[in-house]
Amino acid sequence: METTVRLLEGVKFEAVSRGHSVICDQPQNNGGTDAGMSPPEFLLVSLSTCAMFYAVEYLRTRSLPLEGVTVRVAAEKAQAPARLGTFRIEVNVPGIEDERHKEGVARAVKSCLVHNTLLHTPEVETVVNTITAVHA
C-alpha cells in the first residue's frame, strides 16, 4: 500500500492512492480553507470504514439485513505527546436483536486491519530525502 501527498496551497494537500484522490485541509480557525477533512479526521474515516467493511461482511455472509447499518467513530485528544488517545466505535445494526449476532458483529469489527494496527503499535520509519528543485 502506498499514498503520495502533494501541497496544493497553504495547508491544503492532495493525497493520491491507486489513482483515487482526496483533499486534506485544516479548518479555517487553524489556517486552512476547510476544503477537506483534517489528518485526524481521515484516521477516523479509516477506522470507521474498515469497521463497516467487517461488520457488513459478517452480516452479508449470514444473510442478515444490511439496510440502515452505520458506524460512528469518535476520538478524544490526549496530550504529551499530542495524539488521539481514545477511540469509540459504535456499530448500529437495525433489526438485529439476537445477542449472538451482536457479539459476532463486535468480533468482526475487532478483526479490522486498522483497529488491529491501532492496538498493536506499528514501527514507523521517517526518511527525509533532499531533491534538486526543478525549474520550468
Question: In terms of Cα–Cα distance, which of 89, 93, 119 is closest to 104?
Answer: 93
pLDDT at 95: 84
Task: Please state the domain extents for the chain.
Answer: 1-36, 38-124
Q: Are strands 70-78 and 20-24 parallel, antiparallel or unpaired?
A: unpaired
Instruction: Express each pLDDT in 62-107 by its tens digit.
Output: 999 999 999 999 999 999 999 999 999 999 999 888 999 999 999 9
- Residue 136 is predicted with a pLDDT of 63
Terminal Cα distance for the chain, rounded? 31
User: How many whole angstroms separate alpha carbon 50 and alpha carbon 109?
Assistant: 8
Assign a CATH topology to domain 38-124: GMP Synthetase; Chain A, domain 3 (3.30.300)
